[in-house]
Structure 1
Amino acid sequence: MTQLQPTPTADSLPRRFADFATLGDALDYAASGTRGFNFHDPRGTLVRPYPFAEMRTDALDHARRLIARGVAPGDRIAIVAETSAEFAALFFGAVYAGAWPVPLPLPTSFGGKESYVEQLGVQLRSSDPKFLFYPEELSEMGGEAAQRCDVAGLDWHTFAQDAVTDIALPAANSAEICYLQYSSGSTRFPHGVAVTHGALLSNLAAHAHGMHIAQSDRCISWLPWYHDMGLVGCMLSMVANQVSTDYLKTEDFARRPLAWLDMISRNPGTSCSYSPTFGYDICARRIGSQSKVAERFDLSRWRLAGNGADMIRPDVMQSFVNAFADAGFKASAFLPSYGLAEATLAVTLMPPGEGIVVDLVEEQRLSGAPVDPAKPRRYRSIVNCGKACLGMSLEIRDPDGAVLPDREIGKVWTAGPSIMHSYFRDQEATDACLIDGWLDTGDMGYLVDGYLYIVGRAKDMIIINGKNHWPQDIEWAVEQLPGFKSGDIAAFSITTPAGEEAPAVLVQCRTTDEAERRRLRDEIREKVRSITGMNCVIELVPPRTLPRTSSGKLSRAKARNLYLSGEIQPYQLAA
């Protein structure tokens, strides 16, 4: 049996940094070379090389199949975003047909069939697609969601059996919508971010220029393709910048996270690989105190270890360095970034080689309160997220819209060619965040010499008696207690029976002993009081209770809603 060979890292095709008018043009060019995608099994073994040339052929066939089934330019084509050749071909097939692909999430390990069908239904009703495509193994759930929403549902294997007829494809231009991206937090009122070809290609060019993509670079990724960092950063960017990529499915990473590092170790070239903070945390915890790190891994050629999609925690990054330094990992490889789907993806990138840079900020300043010299000075570490990407501009503004000077905390605004066209069919929401070409990101931060520091989401802020508290501060404080980890705690504001606002903290608790639960509750209460100066509502809840977004991040807003509606049932403890 012939051993499968991955698509090559190097190629004689001259590298172009996404300087194309449309995404279809980008694939046309990449297909003239030998690079491509490579899909691996749970142990990181190659199971399917997929050269860009083959992907283009499949995509063009799908485009003609779609048109033969009545798809017209501007129609939405919803596709369950499994990390697979089938999804990639369908996504680009929709683009070639002039339709707008809409990546939808896979089922998660929590929740059940009904919750997944409803999640699909919410985004189907919002995007109003012509078709919903899904893998065969999801035919039952995908078919039910499609039926409920009066959408034609079809597994992609069946669709691929359609005959291909010689149908002319529509011409596209850079000002047209390329795809719809739903944010990972989309729940009751989802926002489909409409991105044009021009905005996408501008952002993808910024990736290549900002990360100094080289001939020896190869991408390794486990990030889901229904999230902007996985789809735009680790799939579309790889096509537009002609980079061979090795993929591990997200669910396989969750079961065997160290397979990700095994794949990086086997790459003979230089590696570029991204992860949210929790991915690095899982690997550092999983390796534990194993003494043979250097024998199993070689991370010396990991050139860019990107970090984004959630708050970057320097303690986790340091733990990863400590765990894998013997395997050759260099702290300077870390590349923090900041972005959001409304800006296509990247807004800022750290210049390669600068690594994690931390600024210490007094907590009183973060809360917006005047600094009281009589109070003990406590500091929080804020990570530098880099400089504005190519073509992008940044401003920090106060609540009245005035631009603030360096080191003053305010709302982060950005402008440039990567900004979204609109929220799909929601002009009111579009007008609320897009003003005179500037995007209100909804995030709080400050600038220092052109570098951006993010301190939190404005909408997550807990405001008690006029004082601001970041939920991350409360959550991090509880995480320092033995037995808790990132994702176990959700902090938010509630109204008490007395009509007062108070912080509530939900904590996933694994012990079954009643006395131990009471002890933990009291310990947590004291820890939170030391941070906030207030008594908080502390509730212990069963493991795997706190809801997450489709990209795996804690959803505080959903946790609050479930708690207030009674769907989250805390353990009942004696006073």
Structure 2
Amino acid sequence: MTDQAAAIAPAPTPTEDALPRRFADFATLGDALDYAASGSRGLNFHDARGTLTRPYPFAELRADALVQARRLIAMGVKPEDRIALIAETGPEFAALFFGAVYAGAWPVPLPLPTSFGGAQSYIDQLRVQLDSCDPCLLIYPDELGEMAGEAARVAGVDGISFAGIAAKDAPEVSLPTLDGQSIAYLQYSSGSTRFPHGVAITHHALLNNLAAHGHGMKLEPADRCVSWLPWYHDMGLVGCFLSPVANQVSTDYLKTEDFARRPLAWLDLISRNKGTTLSYSPTFGYDICARRMSSQTKASDRFDLSRWRVAGNGADMIRPDVMQSFVDAFGDAGFKASAFLPSYGLAEATLAVSIMPPGEGIVVELVEETQLSGVAAGEDRPQRFRAIVNCGKAVRDMEIEVREEDGTPLPDRAVGKVWCRGPSVMVGYFRDPDATDACMTDGWLDTGDMGYLSDGYIYIVGRAKDMIIVNGRNHWPQDIEWAVEQLPGFKQGDIAAFAITTPGGEETPAVLVQCRTSDGEERKRLHDAIKERVRAVTGMNCVVELVPPRTLPRTSSGKLSRAKARNLYLTGEIKPYAIAA
């Protein structure tokens, strides 16, 4: 970089400043931003190559948010109105989100289009969510005007672009007074069986969970965060946008689509920003980076990950093999396995339910399958073990219980349904008391996940709703999917396993596998290899269907939706390739 270029390059917000850190101990989210704005930290937005394009101090975010609040009120927005916002990572969304909060409205982050499904699929998805949250406005990035505008029109909602709202007047007006019991926002859970239920989160619930983040990660004055996670998903919105505001942490952002195109740009940004100590990702993010490095030179020639002290992991099943592959790929660049911080959470609990104490890393227990499936241990069959990752201890103020199907609490090391209770659990699903009652009892939330407790640590073994029961034995679809992934040419996300009922009334696993080859003989070979692989690993015969690439549906957070894949398969909307006998 020339001296002239260096002189005009924007400077990032500082990692440290003189403002005493407060761990989200505020009455409302607006109060949290008011306090953060009195310091010099902030958000920093980067382009696809990781170059800083816009430093955005919290003080500037607050000023812009107050302007947006006045604009919204002038447009007729009232307290408790819903404001649907397409969650593009950038200053416009950040200011609009907080502007809605200051105005007493409820922001509702909605997803960006994905690379699969096409325009009509995205319009349909938005329409369903708009029908659910019943907003008075849909605000969207200018470049999505055609699709988002059409979704707004179909849903009967007023739509306006970021540029359009920026042109509106912002007259002086009194802002409403909020308290901790006011709803802060609606978050759409990515759980496929409950979609599209908006999770209603109060200011008190949010700030309690954000304080738990700060204490759980043992935030230090010199901590700085990097994130590529989408802001329409709870881990990206709550963990990597709202938590940095409420806990006063400067944060650097890559857009999610830029990470998808160049995953190693994430690690470049961590390396280049010398103060970076915090960054989160689902397992697949670590997986894709480790895979990309397999064809690269030594990691130490490009990266410096030695200051990364909290490498958070959550949002999907944590796979120890992937974590080890990441350590193998980046250990010589200074990455320490002890930096891994497994966690467990869900939108219905605001976000975090449990966090591993920093420094303990990935802890795995090998559990014999009979203990997970309820099959008598004395049966004459070979022992098979599953590697179950420790997801840490309940965050501050949270309780976790593991229960029988009838609600009876289970002792340590007994697998059952995971329940949690605490101040950050949702007040309920928006306008859906039946769905709320189905998962909440006396303040306790049925997470829908299966797991067990051991010495105060929670181990998650799978989703109750995804379980495949064959001949009275429980099988987790992840086991089948992981088995197929070990075959050459397949990767995580290519496979969906679920149960179907045969004409004879028996339950059997079906495995849909995205196949990229057009050669008929090669498809037959893959089909047989997959069938044999599943039989070898699980002992089960299964239905194997090869399907075109980009066929398997995803949730709003990008995770595989097995329930939706099953429905599309059974209704004939997923059309497998024909396989010669």
TM bracket (short chain): over 0.9
CA contact (8 A) 2:74 2:169 kept: no
Letter in 2 for 1:324: F
Letter in 1 for 2:374: G
Correspondence for 1:495 among 482, 494, 501? 501
Distance in 1, matches of 2:537 and 2:245, equals 47
State the Cα deviation string for residues 121-167 of structure 1 (Å, max 9, x = none): 00000000010000000011111111111111000111011111110
Q: Single out whichever of 550-559 and 339-348 deviates more from structure 2.
A: 550-559
Distance in 2, matches of 1:126 and 1:290, equals 46
Correspondence for 2:183 among 177, 180, 187? 177
Correspondence for 1:227 among 229, 233, 247? 233
> Corresponding residue for 1:465?
471
Q: Secondary structure at the match of 2:310?
A: strand
> Corresponding residue for 2:427?
421
> Corresponding residue for 1:287?
293
Q: Secondary structure at the match of 1:63?
A: helix
Distance in 1, matches of 2:131 and 2:303, equals 46
Deviation at 1:186, TM superposition (A): 5.3
Cα–Cα, structure 1 residues 400 and 187, in superposed 2: closer, same or farther, change >3 Å? closer
CA contact (8 A) 2:16 2:222 kept: yes
Distance in 2, matches of 1:359 and 1:464, equals 25
Distance in 2, matches of 1:433 and 1:566, equals 31
Correspondence for 2:570 among 555, 564, 568? 564
CA contact (8 A) 1:108 1:550 kept: no
> Corresponding residue for 1:504?
510
Q: Single out whichever of 286-295 and 270-279 deviates more from structure 2.
A: 286-295
Distance in 2, matches of 1:511 and 1:121, equals 35
> Corresponding residue for 2:550?
544
State the Cα deviation string for residues 195-224 of structure 1 (Å, max 9, x = none): 000000000000000001111110100000
- Is residue 372 of structure 2 the alignment partner of residue 345 of structure 1? no
Deviation at 1:465, TM superposition (A): 2.5
> Corresponding residue for 1:266?
272
Letter in 1 for 2:354: T
> Corresponding residue for 2:205?
199
Letter in 1 for 2:281: S
- Is residue 316 of structure 2 the alignment partner of residue 298 of structure 1? no
Distance in 2, matches of 1:460 and 1:293, equals 38
Letter in 1 for 2:15: T
Q: Secondary structure at the match of 2:309?
A: strand
Q: Secondary structure at the match of 1:243?
A: coil
> Corresponding residue for 2:526?
520
Q: Secondary structure at the match of 1:18?
A: coil
Deviation at 1:532, TM superposition (A): 3.0
State the Cα deviation string for residues 10-65 of structure 1 (Å, max 9, x = none): 01011000000000000000000101000000000000000000010110011111
- Is residue 99 of structure 2 the alignment partner of residue 93 of structure 1? yes
> Corresponding residue for 1:481?
487
Distance in 1, matches of 2:382 and 2:195, equals 43
- Is residue 42 of structure 2 the alignment partner of residue 36 of structure 1? yes
Q: State the TM-score, normalized to the length of structure 1.
A: 0.99
CA contact (8 A) 2:349 2:424 kept: yes
Q: State the TM-score, normalized to the length of structure 2.
A: 0.98
Counting only pairs closer than 5 Å after superposition, residues 41-60 of structure 1 correspond to structure 2 as: 41-60=47-66
Cα–Cα, structure 1 residues 188 and 145, in superposed 2: closer, same or farther, change >3 Å? farther
> Corresponding residue for 1:359?
365
Structure 1 gap ranges (5+): none
- Is residue 456 of structure 2 the alignment partner of residue 450 of structure 1? yes
Equivalent residues, number: 575
Letter in 1 for 2:524: R
> Corresponding residue for 2:242?
236
Distance in 1, matches of 2:411 and 2:298, equals 49
Letter in 2 for 1:438: W
CA contact (8 A) 2:89 2:231 kept: yes
State the Cα deviation string for residues 426-473 of structure 1 (Å, max 9, x = none): 001111111011110000000000000000000001112322111011
Distance in 2, matches of 1:417 and 1:551, equals 25
Deviation at 1:270, TM superposition (A): 4.1
Q: Secondary structure at the match of 2:277?
A: strand
CA contact (8 A) 2:468 2:509 kept: yes
> Corresponding residue for 1:323?
329
Correspondence for 1:65 among 63, 71, 76? 71
Cα–Cα, structure 1 residues 271 and 89, in superposed 2: closer, same or farther, change >3 Å? same
CA contact (8 A) 1:461 1:469 kept: yes
Q: Single out whichever of 473-482 and 202-211 deviates more from structure 2.
A: 473-482
> Corresponding residue for 1:553?
559
Distance in 2, matches of 1:408 and 1:338, equals 18
Distance in 1, matches of 2:218 and 2:96, equals 30
State the Cα deviation string for residues 159-201 of structure 1 (Å, max 9, x = none): 0111111100000000111000001245885110000000000
> Corresponding residue for 1:126?
132
Q: Secondary structure at the match of 2:55?
A: strand
Q: Single out whichever of 253-262 and 268-277 deviates more from structure 2.
A: 268-277
Distance in 2, matches of 1:499 and 1:399, equals 24
CA contact (8 A) 1:122 1:187 kept: no
Distance in 2, matches of 1:493 and 1:460, equals 8
- Is residue 441 of structure 2 the alignment partner of residue 441 of structure 1? no
Q: Single out whichever of 478-487 and 447-456 deviates more from structure 2.
A: 478-487
Distance in 2, matches of 1:519 and 1:333, equals 42
Q: Secondary structure at the match of 1:516?
A: helix
Q: Secondary structure at the match of 1:223?
A: coil
What is the CA RMSD across the aligned residues, in angstroms?
1.1
Distance in 2, matches of 1:276 and 1:43, equals 21
CA contact (8 A) 1:122 1:188 kept: no
Distance in 1, matches of 2:427 and 2:155, equals 26
Q: Secondary structure at the match of 1:217?
A: coil
Correspondence for 1:115 among 109, 112, 121? 121
Q: Single out whichever of 342-351 and 284-293 deviates more from structure 2.
A: 284-293
Distance in 2, matches of 1:337 and 1:188, equals 22
Percent of aligned positions with the same letter in both sequences? 75
State the Cα deviation string for residues 286-333 of structure 1 (Å, max 9, x = none): 111422311110000011000000000000000000000110000000
Distance in 1, matches of 2:140 and 2:579, equals 45
Distance in 2, matches of 1:396 and 1:499, equals 32
Deviation at 1:571, TM superposition (A): 1.0
Deviation at 1:497, TM superposition (A): 2.8
Deviation at 1:117, TM superposition (A): 0.4
Q: Secondary structure at the match of 2:570?
A: helix
Structure 2 gap ranges (5+): none
Deviation at 1:534, TM superposition (A): 2.5
